[in-house]
Amino acid sequence: MGILIAAAVIAIISVAVGVLLGVLNDRFRVETDPREEKVRACLAGSNCGGCGYAGCDAYASAIVLEGADPSLCPSSDREEIGKIMGVSLAPSVRLTAFVKCSGSCAKTTQDYSYFDEKDCRIAYLAPRHGAKSCSYGCCGFGTCALVCQFDAIRIIDGLAVVDREKCQACGKCVGVCPNGLIELIPYDASYAVRCSSHAKGKLVRSACQSGCIGCGLCSRVCPTGAISVAGSLASIDQTKCIACGECVKKCPAGIIVKLNDKAADLFQPS
């Protein structure tokens, strides 16, 4: 009888608690805007925080309730978000991280031996921003890879390499690189300059076998004016590039590279 009585008491308490929770849920329920769930479905879902909010749920709520900029997530369906919010937004342009350096260990020389902590931000404080002779290049310690939560960056032969298929363009690697070597470019870009050195030609070649010497040949053969040379370094305006490939043919240093349109950019330094 004692067991039956205990079981009955527990059952009665459980029913009472269930009813109480139901009543409290109805009374204190916070109504949410149905647009939040729809906007959330248009976001990447990676909760990377690249938009500046705690996650995709927080960002979706901010868009609907606070009027936050709906274009902060580079991997979102911005056009669909515009339809949900009743505004006109241009379609999203998929972006990917690109490392503007060709200075692998095989292509660069070293001025000294570095024994401090293997962190690019610490190495940047050392003479010439690290042991490599090129003070503009990749330190190669992989701080960018450590902050990438999508496993989209690897270190190959002392150089950061981005897998474009995995990259979600959150921008964390851009912010953490002390030399400013990583930028976000359109995923469908055809060509890019894999160098960031502003040194003069002779100094570039003495430090790295594959660096921009600022000769300007690429700029002169570009039919659309998409390439400019400033501070002994070439750069490409992706909005003007028509992917003709003339710059690649003329570049004596070989630092203007063709990017794959659909495959991952698994550049293998030699």
pLDDT digits (tens, 9 = 90+) for 145-190: 999 999 999 999 999 999 999 999 999 999 999 999 999 999 999 9
- To the question of whether residue 148 is assigned a binding role by annotation, the answer is yes
pLDDT at 30: 61
pLDDT at 265: 46
Q: Is 7 helix (H, G, I), strand (E, B) or coil?
A: helix
- To the question of whether residue 195 is assigned a binding role by annotation, the answer is no
Q: Do domains 34-85 and 95-258 have the same CATH topology?
A: no
Domain boundaries, the chain: 34-85, 95-258
Amino acid at 174: V
pLDDT at 16: 87
pLDDT at 267: 45
CATH architecture for the domain at 95-258 = 2-Layer Sandwich (3.30)
Alpha helix (H) residue ranges in the chain: 2-28, 34-42, 56-61, 78-85, 120-123, 143-147, 172-176, 201-207, 217-221, 246-250
- To the question of whether residue 218 is assigned a binding role by annotation, the answer is no
- To the question of whether residue 138 is assigned a binding role by annotation, the answer is yes
CATH of the structural domain 34-85, one choice from 1.10.260.40, 1.10.15.40, 1.10.600.10, 3.20.20.80: 1.10.15.40
- To the question of whether residue 222 is assigned a binding role by annotation, the answer is no
pLDDT at 266: 47
Tokens representing residue 93 in the block: 């342009």
pLDDT at 263: 40
40 within 8 A of 51, measured Cβ to Cβ: no
The radius of gyration of the chain's CA atoms, rounded to the nearest angstrom, is 26
H/E run at residue 154: strand 153-156
- To the question of whether residue 244 is assigned a binding role by annotation, the answer is no
Angle, helices 34-42 vs 78-85, to 10°: value is 170
All residue ranges of the chain with pLDDT < 70 are 26, 28-31, 261-270
187 within 8 A of 92, measured Cβ to Cβ: no
- To the question of whether residue 212 is assigned a binding role by annotation, the answer is no
- To the question of whether residue 56 is assigned a binding role by annotation, the answer is yes
pLDDT at 226: 96
pLDDT at 128: 86
